[in-house]
Amino acid sequence: MVQKLTVNYNPRMKEDEIIRWLDECKSIVLVGPRQAGKTTLAIYIANKLGGEYYSLDRDLDREIFSNTETALTETGDFFVVDEAQEVKDIGRILKVLHDRGKQFVVTGSGSFDLRGGISDYLVGRAVRVELLTLSFEEYLLWKDERLWKLYKREKKKFWGGEEPKDALLLREHWKRYVIFGGYPEAVLKGPNVLRSIIDLYIFREVLSHFNILEREKFKHTLKLLALKTGSLLNKESIAQSVGANYRTIDRYISILRETYAIFLARRKGRSFAAARKRPKYYFFDLGFRNAILEDFRSLDTRPDKGSLLENYVARRLREIKEDVAFLRKNGEADFLAKNFLIEVKAGGKRPRKLVEYAKELDLKPVVVRPGRVEEDRGILYVPPWII
């Protein structure tokens, strides 16, 4: 059934990208975590462009997309398909519709694309766009447009070679963001909803769709990962702690990646052997991670504040590009980003070897740590809320 829905919409940075691709006659496969706002954004775009909205968890809409003939006759030139995982052959049907001149935005649960193989059918026809939970910039915009303008102004100063002067307010909001994360509902209604978000993820997104029988082992795995955010991924150690075999843990990790709970940072190296070494892992949303641990203590009192800071930087890099890489030399782990070699430090001594290592690679050494912007003996020190 065609629906014209109204939604309470707050701006998302991906909106312009989606409109731009649609203007180039591409369709969109909109992916990302459950409850990150994919449906809201898709409905908003449908309304903005005069399109139709179909949700395949409803019988009438599912019947329309049950075969190519009815989908061709019942749909208009532009439409949105939500909950796409509910129709087994939806990828093939959408391919035919696109080839007949129709455009669409298709979305669904966190792993709908992988389960339905939609992107495989739409190669060359559709663009895959990720919508994650709110970035820090979006978080500020949703909280108060004045905060967002302050952020943009201070960031412009930084990249223009000036030292930001009015960062205290940004820092306090950033400290809250790394504890409660960027799930839209949590930002709008408060962090108490995070528990229900976790429950929906585990019981609806994972256990039901992936047929996991030993749910306690899966939950134990998720908690172990949360406890060691930013560590090298050691599946053998996790298997031993959980009491499961390696193949089971390997499957759990794959599911957590497919459903946008965690992502990996690959070790950068010139050799094949270096690339095969263990990656590091991070959570897409720190509110999700902290809710798993049921730990919402303030950042200044936490023993894991270094891990939270590193996870934030990794997530920020992941927003910019999908391939997050790190280097490991003499016990130090550093991120690679464009022309920068980045080390993350919650405190402690000056990283003496960073300058030497960056010089070898012809990169600019950067330390991300709480504090003010400064440059000292060849190292640029940057607070996390300005990157």
* Residues 95 and 186 reside in one and the same domain: no
Task: Name the strand (E) or helix (H) holding 227.
Answer: helix 215-227
Torsions phi, psi for 145 (to 5 deg): -60, -30
Given a contact cutoff of 8 angstroms between Cβ atoms, the answer to whether 105 and 45 are in contact is yes
* Residues 336 and 205 reside in one and the same domain: yes
Partners of 27 in beta bridges: 126
Q: Along the 387 residues of the chain, how does pLDDT read in single tens digits?
A: 455 666 788 999 999 999 999 999 999 999 999 999 999 999 999 999 999 999 998 999 999 999 999 999 999 999 999 988 888 889 999 999 999 999 999 998 766 665 567 888 999 999 999 999 999 999 999 999 999 999 998 888 877 767 666 678 899 999 999 999 999 999 999 999 999 999 999 888 888 788 898 999 999 999 999 999 999 999 999 999 999 999 999 999 999 999 999 999 988 765 445 556 889 999 999 999 999 999 999 999 999 999 999 999 999 999 987 678 888 766 566 788 888 899 998 877 777 788 888 888 899 999 999 888 888 888 889 899 888
Q: Which of 130, 160, 175 is the last residue of a domain?
A: 130
Q: What tokens appear for 211 in the block?
A: 């047929």
User: Looking at residue 228, what is its pLDDT?
Assistant: 95
User: Looking at residue 378, what is its pLDDT?
Assistant: 87
User: Looking at residue 291, what is its pLDDT?
Assistant: 96
* Residues 160 and 291 reside in one and the same domain: yes
* Residues 320 and 188 reside in one and the same domain: yes
- Give the DSSP letter of residue 212: -
Q: Does 111 reside within a domain? A: yes
* Residues 100 and 248 reside in one and the same domain: no
User: Looking at residue 298, what is its pLDDT?
Assistant: 96
What is d(CA 336, CA 364) in angstroms, rounded to the nearest whole number? 10
* Residues 105 and 196 reside in one and the same domain: no
Domain count, the chain: 2
Residue 307 is part of which domain span? 150-386
Q: Which of 76, 102, 130 is the last residue of a domain?
A: 130
Burial class (CB in 10 A: 0-12, 13-18, 19+), 34: buried
* Residues 110 and 196 reside in one and the same domain: no
User: Looking at residue 164, what is its pLDDT?
Assistant: 66
* Residues 213 and 353 reside in one and the same domain: yes
